[in-house]
Amino acid sequence: MQSTMRLRHFSPRTETVYLAWVRRYIRFHRLRHPGEMGAAEVRAFLEHLAGPRRLSASSINQALAALLLLYADVLRQPLEALGPMPRAKQPERLPVVLTRDEVRRVLQELDGVARVIGVVLYGSGMRLTECLSVRVKDVDLERGEFRIRRGKGAKDRVTVLPQAVRGALVAQLERVAVRHRRECAEGLEHGWVALPGALDRKYPGAGRSLAWQWLFPATRRYRGEADGRWYRHHWHESAMQRAMTAAVRRSGVLKRASCHTLRHSFATHLLEGGADIRTVQELLGHRSVTTTMIYTHVLNRGGLGVTSPADRGGLGDLLAGLAV
């Protein structure tokens, strides 16, 4: 199944998640081979997730997508031919958006590189995975741009590099360069990063060049099993997510905010400032402008453009000085 996903250029994250769902499906049915099962067993598994497990609609649909791929492309037993597969209906929720003051309060609680990442997330609108996957060559300080390679949906795009973070990025790039020079001096087995796709075969030495190094490298290195070289990965998503959760808690902001909330806030604040929705769509990397339109609903939440009858009736004086 993994080779099938590689051929279809699924992201590593999607590969991991889909394989986990398939393993979970097999364990649920007491290690029976998927080829011996079909639509009835898939439906029973999904009902288990929705019933006793009470998972979200998005998780259930993700599990179904993994199983549809398994049966259609790996086992060549398309489930759709065995009967309609139910899809969980996802509730329509408006995204959580922070005010500008709340953004500042949260970012102030981040330290070091985490704060730089936080400002980049809010200032560029990148997804967390996109931000952490930025390489040195993708930072264009002169044009004020980030180049996002193979973002969601395997699309490349360009987004804004905020001037507010330019100085911090210059310092970060210098730290990356110094560390890389030091590691390369340790020997030919050092200073490597993994390259996407088959680029390591097409350009054998590129993985050791400064241009391909991560903008936000991890603190630890690991040794490649196949070649014995020492590699460095980028910051792990969970590390930034933990830092963000702690920062929100310390800031006193009561909204349920995450790293992705900074992306929502980026889009909403751009639209509040008069940005064209098509421009925001391109910056966010949305395939359809319909997806971007959700932020116009967020803009309208503040009173929905109407005056409450409690205000028209002048009821505010009833609460003045009220002891509760």
**Residues 18, 25, 71, 295: which is the catalytic one?**
295
What is the number of other CB atoms lying within 10 angstroms of the CB of residue 128? 19
**Residues 150, 152, 179, 190: which is the catalytic one?**
152
**Residues 229, 234, 263, 269: which is the catalytic one?**
263
127 is catalytic: yes
32 is catalytic: no
29 is catalytic: no
Q: Which of 142, 103, 96 is nearest to 119 (CA)?
A: 103
In the chain, the amino acid numbered 97 is V
Q: What does the block give as tokens for 64?
A: 């179904």
Q: What does the block give as tokens for 299?
A: 């803009």
Q: What is the DSSP letter of 256?
A: -
Angle at 193 between CA 185 and CA 14, to 5 degrees: 165
48 is catalytic: no
Q: What span, in angstroms and rounded, lies between the C-alpha atoms of 62 and 39? A: 16
Strands (E), the chain: 139-140, 145-148, 157-160, 217-223, 230-234
**Residues 18, 71, 122, 127: which is the catalytic one?**
127
Q: Which of 118, 120, 161, 155 is nearest to 141 (CA)?
A: 161
**Residues 29, 43, 137, 260: which is the catalytic one?**
260
Residues labelled as active-site residues:
127, 152, 260, 263, 286, 295
